[in-house]
Chain A
């Protein structure tokens, strides 16, 4: 399974944009880039995923580098409720089960 590298922690101010980076230099052509977040005392929550093109949804945007070796999750306007651990994971769509292997993620804190 291809690995991802994320900073252990990041800080942000409320109502400002947040850019969470992820490196995945060994990504293969069939790997989708997935992002999840986990709020305190809750299960992980799907945020967004993409293959090659940038993606937007109501929660966030995903910017994927042209060579796909890195990506950035963008929260356009952080709120206190966005404080969570954010996981960047590669999911092999060509592999049976397409299982997600979680790393340690980035712990995002949001200051008022």
Chain B
């Protein structure tokens, strides 16, 4: 989607290894979000950020950490990946008066 990119698009990793997913925006939006989507669960909020170095937990934050050192980048880290974290991860950006814009997603497989 225009103004937001996720990297990598696909990743296969081994159980126990650290993984970092990157979300980059060019819209200068204040708010950024990480969701995961699994069959039967829909989209669930992991973490979100309301400014540089301001982050908070979502519905399913256990096993994940985030960092936002500058407006344009929001990183999601799995400190020690587990098979239950196999999922599709979506990043989103927003300003309060506007709708969200979602990235194209990162498909992560933990083997």
Partners in one complex: yes
Q: How far is the CA of A36 from the CA of B1 in the complex (A)?
A: 15
- CB-CB under 8 A from B90, the residues of chain A are 43-44
Kindly list 6 other residue pairs between chains A and B, CB separation below 8 angstroms, not including A42-B105, A99-B45, A101-B59: A43-B102, A47-B99, A93-B97, A97-B49, A99-B58, A100-B45
Q: Residues of B within 8 Å of A, CB-based: how many?
A: 26
Q: What 1/0 flags go to A39-63 for Cβ under 8 Å of B?
A: 0001111111100000000000000
Contact flags (1/0) for B33-47 with A, using CB distance below 8 Å? 101000000111100
> Given contacts A102-B44, A103-B42, are A96 and B100 in contact (CB under 8 A)?
no
Known: A43-B1, A43-B105, A105-B42. A100 touches B100 (CB 8 A): yes
Q: Give the residues in chain A near B96, CB-CB below 8 Å.
A: 93, 98
Q: Looking across the interface, which residue of chain A has its beta carbon closest to that of B6?
A: A43
